[in-house]
Amino acid sequence: MVLGIFVLLASFWWAGSRTLTSYMELARWFALFAFVGNLLPYERVGLALGMERLEWFLFNLLAVGPFVLSFLLWLNLLVHGEERTAITAYGGDIMELRSHWMANDELPPHDAVTATLDQVLDQPPMGTIGGHYMGTAKGILGYEVITTYERVLPPLP
């Protein structure tokens, strides 16, 4: 159960910060996964596993819920559709980019590019507006994820 808490913290910090969804929605998903196991009949499942009622409740809350939410966050981040790339002048790190998205419900102004990161590092596209190469894609579970976010150009004055 302790491992479940640490796995959730690491996944929430890494995969959750790259998933474009609100913290409240992530909390709702966690609540669903943490408490849905308690809807199973205790006598058939919890007691068969040798757990008391409190242990069964805590097992679902501290182990099943965190592991399921972490697995789905990572699945959504790693299995995604086609990446859309852009260059943005936004100067913050990935957490500030996510905070901007949460505050404005959209990513900062950006110019779409079709070049790969290596091509942009070799020859920045003319007329681009910024300093970060950003890639986004729709994850397998339907949530938008930030796949790439690298500084490539000096910020504009």
pLDDT digit string (tens) for 131-147?
A: 788 899 999 999 999 99
* Rounded mean pLDDT, 12-38: 91
Confidence of residue 121 (pLDDT cuts 50, 70, 90): low
Q: Looking at beta carbons, which pairs linking 66-70 to residues 24 or more positions away fall under 8 Å?
A: 66/4, 66/5, 66/7, 66/8, 66/30, 66/34, 67/4, 67/7, 67/8, 68/33, 69/8, 69/11, 69/26, 69/29, 69/30, 69/33, 70/7, 70/8, 70/10, 70/11, 70/12, 70/15
What spatial distance separates the first Cα and last Cα of the chain, rounded to whole Å? 50
Round to whole Å and give the CA distance between 154 and 67.
Answer: 40
The full set of domain ranges for the chain reads: 2-78, 84-151
Residue 5 in 3-state DSSP? helix
Break the chain down into helix, strand, coil percent, rounded to 5: 50, 15, 35
pLDDT tens for 78-117 read 999 999 988 887 778 888 888 889 899 888 888 787 777 7
Better pLDDT: 152 or 33 = 33
pLDDT tens for 52-81 read 989 989 998 998 999 999 999 999 999 999
